[in-house]
Structure 1
């Protein structure tokens, strides 16, 4: 009974002078209980009729060592069930002569443990860090002071060029201050430095749509430790563009929360309305969209996202990026930007018959005066029939591969052809060795022994290989 109910009974005694004995018989309440209520009312007024807390509430009449034992079992990794802990405690009590606590008491002791302590002990430092450690949120004070770049695998199936279903990737460049989406790229291959460069190219250069004004070179590009973001290509590009490349701490995504939030918005607001959307626990749907269809849908979604009010800013990302008007830092030309972003640099030496690269030979009359000298070549991984040759920072010439002149050959096609040729040769070798073994000849050669020195774990992309 609450304080109000007790007062409604006591007021009959206090105001109407009804004896407590009569009230006890009428309401079925003990006389001593009514007397205690009356005494508490006289001492503290209406507040004295409220519930009281026992002095020993929350405690357990158990030995301190036994309570510590129960808590220690609750912090064991992997954590046993309460029933298992209770059985273990019962055996320990029998050996020490302690009173055996009930299952409920054991459960209450373990439930009262600090959740942060349980997380650190049972789930490990990484889970504790993500749940309980204080996180410092980066916040740029002006547009283009810092951009964030990241990739995500989208929850949707597309129709591939071969008719088979494929799952696409999305790369996004977001301005940290305004939350404006400055550029993006949709693709089907694994993330690479080239896909990052394509998204950066769109983010930096002027857009054809005047409603998408975001552009310029940022002061800082904040990325994770993916191999495309740690590639030589992106590092050299950052140096040439005079921007700082900052990597987040390994396995710590908290600093990239703004871009992760946008990815969540895409997956929850855009993709569920598109055919081919993947839903957890359901069979894969039949794909209906092409990569171009999805690219157009994401472009329209970004245009709407940049113009709608942001909950933290109180205005739209587009308005926050424009602010009071300012001039972004821009490259001299789109050609210069392409030369930095969409080409990969490698050192080479000019030979008497030209420059050799990826099994191809590039020639140009200008190279006649540079035989034996080191140069730097830049190439577009999408078309390696032509390279640009530099003497330090000075442009020398364009050199072409005479065999494939007039064709467009990508680096991926060249490598695929080499791999196919190697497989054909290996198949021929295996067939001949099998015939020798069938006729009692020399046994098949043993496979090469594995390397004893540890291999490098640093992942690089094909365009970074010499």
Structure 2
């Protein structure tokens, strides 16, 4: 067909009712998706649920349509004007319903011809690409020039003049450039013709400016008959390449199309349709849109999000002396992004969750919603009972939906992964293999010798550095929080979680503080045990309480804390507190402690040395023996580390000293005791012990750093 004739067929509107432009598939047996009725579109993603709704939307948005041939009449709508999600659903449905065909019937799909819509309006202009808009604007310039010239001469004379100037190259540079662009040809012949200009004028006067836009070849969205057979080899969880899947497909069907035809077909599919079967439900969510959750309406403590994270560095366990990877259970406040509590354990467990809850409640007060996954450390009756008794609500995210708790997942990457890389014992995926193997060999060799493994931090060191990292996170700007204007620079910036928390307090938020007894009783796990002559046995250890002697053989409830095994709380079955049972509280030395004969001889020799020194100097001489622990005494070393870790992790018990249950109040109480001591006032034994031990607590160090930072800022101001 000559070019001018094909162009006429291409651009001419459909004038006769019932006439349907030809669409050639080039291959019988190919399912066509170029034109679809409203019945085909009802209920699909992005489509209304009724035929009337589909037709109303098509009319409102000016979809490209044509009259339907055959019985029933009605209109058909072009596949190309449908929303992307509807196109994806149609393709996926066609692929799923396609039946395998014999190899001898496989043919290449042809290209569909382009059909213009008889209806042109502002809605269709929004679907033009930049190239079509450019050509349309150039043709409009030429039409305006003809209209301007027609004011003084006839339209025919104006057209002849414009064509003649274009043929001789006498047009102005501006019009010459527009004439070349308006022709929209790739060959060298870009001159204007009378017929072309008249056709543009007729289209413009009939359908408006949009009629000047050139039609573009639409993609062939048909699904070939061999698609299902090929996708059977391609859409597998092993994720074979297109070439590997094609080779397997070709062996079954000798008449299969070429590899390039298969690759072109894959390129037409959306990522969701193409990766079906190659990705599981969890992995496929990365291709789907996500729902951004806003927290502007939340107050602090409205929603706590908790999760466990296996630390990517090895640590020494002080109890066993072995190397392990600790599990860090952390809780974040969703509204302010503040880490409110955390716990360390061997694995995600109920104990770790209880400890993290106690840590958060004692710091910032009560919560409303506890949002967790379905892990064994959260989805159990013990945690649910504790949350309900605290007055909160427990909510679980859907399985394989870690994106729903992205706020805590992102915090883990920011805090835990960054901290793990600071240790020589880091074993993450991006750790250098040679360096990692070297650390592993050295540490295991040291452990086999019975000495302290090199390059492996103790649990105490890890605990201290984790507390510092969490504190730095809470005081660092967070991009998930709404920007505020800086009072010093006047610029907008992201606040830190602590700034967001204080701002909420300034706006009227007040945390609900539980009683110390309630929080301690609820978060401590309780077991039913029988007494035996004043003893109760739990977790492999015996605890003694004199008040249990009259209850010999009765059942009691024992509340214990895995981080302080020195005592347990004992209650009746009705919940009345009996007292604190002490670990091996009934134990005593088998015989009175006496000085051995060898010690007596040593003491005698030392006395003689003192007497000899007095004889030589004529003055009193004092002799002291300094005992040093053996370097290989691993048991003593681990015992000291465990005692230090317990001292950092716990406050003194309330029965020794009524210590406040708020960190700021405790810090103020310590300052009062310190002032009394500096003034020479004597402290009681309990006050002196608490005054000496509290500076080792992480809260004390954190508050002191806060005051030091504030004083430095004041000094700079």
TM-score by length of 2: 0.45
Measured against aligned partners, the alpha-carbon deviations of 1:274-323 in whole angstroms (never above 9, x if no partner) come to 65545515134553654444444433333333233332322332232231
Distance 1:30 1:188, change over 3 A: closer
Q: How far apart are the structure 1 equivalents of 2:464 and 2:547?
A: 44
1:124 is displaced (CA, Å) by: 2.8
Query: Quick check: 2:271–2:287 contact (8 Å CA) kept in 1?
Result: no
Aligned to 1:217, which of 354, 366, 382? 366
Provide the residue aligned with 1:421 in structure 2. Answer: none
Q: Give per-residue Cα distances to partners, 1:333-371, cap 9 Å, x unaligned.
A: 3x5533433x32112344567545456555544335545
Q: Do the aligned partners of 2:534 and 2:546 also contact (CA within 8 Å) in 1?
A: no
Shift of 1:393: 1.6
Q: Contact 1:390/1:396 (CA < 8 Å) preserved in 2?
A: yes
Q: Is the 8 A contact 1:74 1:110 kept in 2?
A: no
Give the aligned partner of residue 331 of structure 1. Answer: 514
Q: In structure 1, what is the equivalent of residue 261 of structure 2?
A: 105
Judging changes above 3 Å, is the alpha-carbon distance between structure 1 residues 58 and 147 closer, same or farther for their aligned structure 2 residues?
Answer: same
Residue 121 in 1 paired to residue 302 in 2? no
**Residue equivalent to 1:318:** 498
- What CA distance in whole angstroms lies between the structure 1 residues aligned with 2:347 and 2:478? 31
Decide which structure has the larger Cα Rg and report it: 2
1:30-109 map, 5 Å: 33-34=189-190, 43-44=199-200, 53-54=216-217, 57-58=219-220, 64-76=224-236, 78=238, 80-87=240-247, 101-109=257-265
Structure 1 contact 135–254 (Cα < 8 Å) conserved: no
**Superposition RMSD in Å:** 4.5
Give SS of 1:171's match: strand
1:300 maps to 2:465: no
For 1:107-256, what aligned pairs fall within 5 Å after superposition?
107-129=263-285, 131-132=287-288, 137=293, 139=295, 141-158=298-315, 166-185=324-343, 187=344, 189-206=346-363, 215-231=364-380, 233-256=382-405
Distance change (3 Å), C-alpha of 1:73 and 1:310: same
Q: Measure the CA separation in 2 of the matches of 1:180 and 1:59.
A: 51
The runs of 5 or more residues in structure 2 that have no matched partner are 1-130, 143-161, 170-175, 177-184, 202-208, 440-454, 483-494, 590-638, 640-717
| Contact map agreement 1:70 1:85 (CA 8 A) in 2 | yes
SS at match of 1:156: coil
Unaligned runs of 5+ in 1: 24-28, 207-214, 408-412, 414-466
Partner of 2:44: none
1:14-63 C-alpha deviation (Å, 9 max, x unpaired)? 5855459xx9xxxxx998843589865765599999875235x4357x9x
Alignment check: 8 A CA contact 2:221 2:268 kept:
no
Check whether the contact 2:544–2:586 (CA below 8 A) recurs between aligned residues: no
| 1:421-460 equivalent positions in 2, closer than 5 A | none
Any idea what the Cα deviations from partners look like across 1:67-117, whole Å, max 9, x if unmatched?
Answer: 45445554355555433554566567667xxxx532211111123223223
Q: Which one is further off, 176-185 or 71-80?
A: 71-80
- 8 Å contact from structure 1 (residues 70, 109) kept in 2: no
2:557 partner SS:
strand
- Distance in 1 (CA, whole Å) between partners of 2:349 and 2:252 is 59
Equivalent in the alignment of 2:687: none
Check whether the contact 2:332–2:341 (CA below 8 A) recurs between aligned residues: yes
Distance across 2 between alignment mates of 1:351 and 1:288: 43
1:131 to 1:236, Cα distance in 2 relative to 1, 3 A? same
In structure 1, C-alpha distance between the alignment counterparts of 2:211 and 2:353, rounded to whole Å: 70
Larger relative CO (CA 8 A, sep 6+): 1 or 2?
1
Q: For residues 394 and 354 of structure 2, what CA distance do their matches in structure 1 show?
A: 14
Give SS of 1:178's match. Answer: coil
Q: How high is the TM-score relative to the length of structure 1?
A: 0.65
Q: 1:158 to 1:368 in 2, by over 3 A?
A: closer
